[in-house]
Structure 1
């Protein structure tokens, strides 16, 4: 196969770190290794350095003495790892110029994803009871005794709150104050909700969901992160999965909020018998593929997602949320180096497939 460019589109802040190889959890080396397998050369871009009129871009590329900025023809295929405001038209300009961009959008509202999956009768049973906003909160408080409140566009557990009934009229409200690493819990009356809570729901779109009674290990709840990606051939495949266990005393499993990454097989076998654990794992994999196919029917350019799936103590599987820019480092933290490397190879394999079969892009 001939040597060709593949673009990796980064946010400006991460892009600035490329020459120092300080790109947070994004592994430049893993992109380089994956691209070499498929006869590609990666170039690292930011949107403002791409000129759709001339067809040229300024990109970081690896040279003998590290990464240097060079002028290159804009790659025909770009893997988007950046997050832009909903009003940004940069990706649209790229698509309009004929560039094949996959993962065109990397952040979808939780309400949007929930609404899409709710339309599928087979997947509807995976969804927890859900409402929205202050009016939805009051309705849910009348029916459930344990609720999770999530900002529709939050990430890494930011802004998540919990309400747990302690008596017919009183609830415990748990939240993480801005800039703090310690959860705060206070008692509230359901008929006179505190102004701070009401203001949050009024200023930011929130989903209100029944809290799933997740299976636990050592008294700490866990869920499963499933990475589902398109690879060579364009078909969806499960790259791997790992478990995320909440920090002691916590109720969110996000690694950025103190959660712990574990091998999924180990986690499931700690919570269930061997046979039950195997069956649950197979169900989670099958449901994850179905979810990817359903979302791809409605979200153009989707190619690389991370799904959070929950399992109750009784073995029932739930969908929790979809991450449009999967943070792959959880595999490495769980000791699953092979899956971590594969999570970089699959999207690059898809890039090579699109370069060789550009007409297939419009089919997905």
Structure 2
């Protein structure tokens, strides 16, 4: 295999940090090692420095003295690690001019993903009961005693709230206060919801879901992050999974909100008997593959996702959400360094596959 360029598309802030090796949770060394396995040379791009008219781009490429900025022919295969909605004019323009960009669109609304999965007879039973917005909230409060409210386009747990029924129309509203930097509990009535709560639900689209009675470790609920990627050969594969355990007293498992990353087998064996734990782990992997394969039919160029899958205390599986730009560092935090590296290798294998075989 001869060496060829593969593009890694970053957002502007991360791209600026490349020459100083300051790219947050994105590992440049992992990209270099993973690309080398497949005879590829990674070049780090930003969208506004790709000239679709000339076919050339400015990019950072590693040399002996570090990363330097160079003008190169735009790579024919690019892995998108920035965030773009389907209405991005810049991404649409890039795609019209020929490069194969996988995971080109990677910011999908939770409502959009839920709607796609509802169309699958196989997968809809894994979805929690769901409604939208303020009108949906009132209906859900009449059906379920414990609710999770999530902004349709939120990430890393931002804006997530909870409503818990106490008695005869009285509820507790739990939300994170950015001002005080801690969780706040407020008593509310179903007949007189606070203006602040109603404002949240009408200012941006919100998903309202029954709260899944997740399995717990020491009274701390957890779910599993399942990384599903296409690699060499173009087929979906499970790269790995780890458990995200909520902070003590918390109800969101996001690591960015104080959650803890654990090896999935360790978490499952703490919550379930050994044989059951092993069976559940296999079932979670099977569900992750089924979800990715179904979503691929409705989401163009999907190739790299992180799926959150919950397990109720009775062992029932639930799909929670899809992350179009998987934050892979949880593997490292869970002590799974080799799996963390695999999460970089697999997309580079897919890039090589596309270079040699074109569209699958």
Structure 1 counterpart of 2:82: 82
Structure 2 counterpart of 1:161: 161
Map 1:90-169; keep pairs closer than 5 Å: 90-169=90-169
Is 2:355 aligned against 1:355?
yes
Structure 2 counterpart of 1:252: 252
Aligned partner of residue 359 in structure 1, secondary structure: coil
Cα shift readout 1:171-209 (whole Å, capped 9, x = no counterpart): 000001235431001100110000000011011100000
Q: For 1:76 and 1:341, how far apart are their aligned partners in 2?
A: 24
Map 1:261-280; keep pairs closer than 5 Å: 261-280=261-280
Cα shift readout 1:99-157 (whole Å, capped 9, x = no counterpart): 00000111100000000000001101100000000000000000100000000000000
Map 1:182-201; keep pairs closer than 5 Å: 182-201=182-201
TM-score (norm 1): 0.98
TM-score (norm 2): 0.99
Map 1:31-42; keep pairs closer than 5 Å: 31-42=31-42
Q: For 1:103 and 1:168, how far apart are their aligned partners in 2?
A: 48
Aligned partner of residue 278 in structure 2, secondary structure: helix
Aligned partner of residue 19 in structure 1, secondary structure: helix
- Number of residues of Structure 1 aligned to a counterpart in Structure 2: 360
Give 5+ residue unaligned stretches, structure 2. none
Structure 1 counterpart of 2:49: 49
Q: For 1:169 and 1:212, how far apart are their aligned partners in 2?
A: 21
Aligned partner of residue 121 in structure 1, secondary structure: coil
Structure 1 counterpart of 2:233: 233
Structure 2 counterpart of 1:21: 21
CA contact (8 A) 2:85 2:105 kept: no
Cα shift readout 1:338-360 (whole Å, capped 9, x = no counterpart): 11000000000000000001132
Aligned partner of residue 199 in structure 2, secondary structure: helix
Structure 2 counterpart of 1:299: 299
RMSD (CA atoms): 0.8
Structure 2 counterpart of 1:332: 332
Q: For 2:344 and 2:59, how far apart are their aligned partners in 1?
A: 20
